[in-house]
Amino acid sequence: MHHTTAPTPPAPTTPSGLTDAEYTRRAHAALATVEATTDRWLDDDVIDIDTHRTGGLLELSFPGGSKIILNTQPPLQEVWMAARAGGFHYRWMEGAWRDTRSGDEFFAALSAQASAQGGQALVFTSGDTPV
């Protein structure tokens, strides 16, 4: 009878591969980007989306009464979006927030949902991300 040694378990990693501090910085930067974009649209008379931020939760209220709610999920290292079309979960992968099911990029998906709920083309980009 010979013994085989069990493989050494890998070091624990977070789902996204980020440290908690990196996750917090990236997730809050994404919310700040969305806030800055909607503020700019308000200033430029593009659309009046009311924003309300409480910590890791950002609520976007659209003309007509619909909402999109974005919130951070630190234990899972995800950003969640609740929109009229449903709920979506995003994790940091390949240098962007990506849908855990479809792989869609967060700002592109948010743009699609906001455009549908705002009744006009609205584009959010990560290029506005504050450092």
Is residue 105 very low, low, confident or very high in pLDDT (cuts 50, 70, 90)?
very high
Q: Is the pLDDT reported for residue 106 higher than 80?
A: yes
Does the pTM of the predicted model rise above 0.75?
A: yes
109 falls within a domain: yes
The answer to whether residue 5 is domain-embedded is no
Calculate mean pLDDT across residues 96-105.
Answer: 96
pLDDT of residue 17: 83
Between CA 18 and CA 14 the distance in angstroms is 6
Examine residue 76 and state whether it is found in any structural domain, yes or no: yes
Residue 70 sits in which domain range? Answer: 20-128
Please count the structural domains in the chain.
Answer: 1
Residue 2 domain flag = no
User: In whole numbers, what is the pLDDT of the chain averaged over residues?
Assistant: 89
User: What CATH number has the domain bearing residue 100?
Assistant: 3.30.920.10
Residue 13 is assigned to a structural domain of this protein = no
In a domain, 4, yes or no: no
In a domain, 8, yes or no: no
- Assign 3-class secondary structure to the chain: CCCCCCCCCCCCCCCCCCCHHHHHHHHHHHHHHHHHHHHHHHHCCCCCCEEEEECCEEEEECCCCCEEEEEEECCCCEEEEEECCEEEEEEEECCEEEECCCCCEHHHHHHHHHHHHHCCCCCCCHHHCCC
The answer as to whether 32 is a domain residue is yes
Residue with the larger pLDDT of the pair 126 and 65: 65
- Convert the pLDDT of each residue in 57-94 to its tens digit: 999 999 999 999 999 999 999 999 999 999 999 999 98
Where does the pLDDT of residue 6 fall: very low under 50, low under 70, confident under 90, or very high at 90 and above? Answer: low
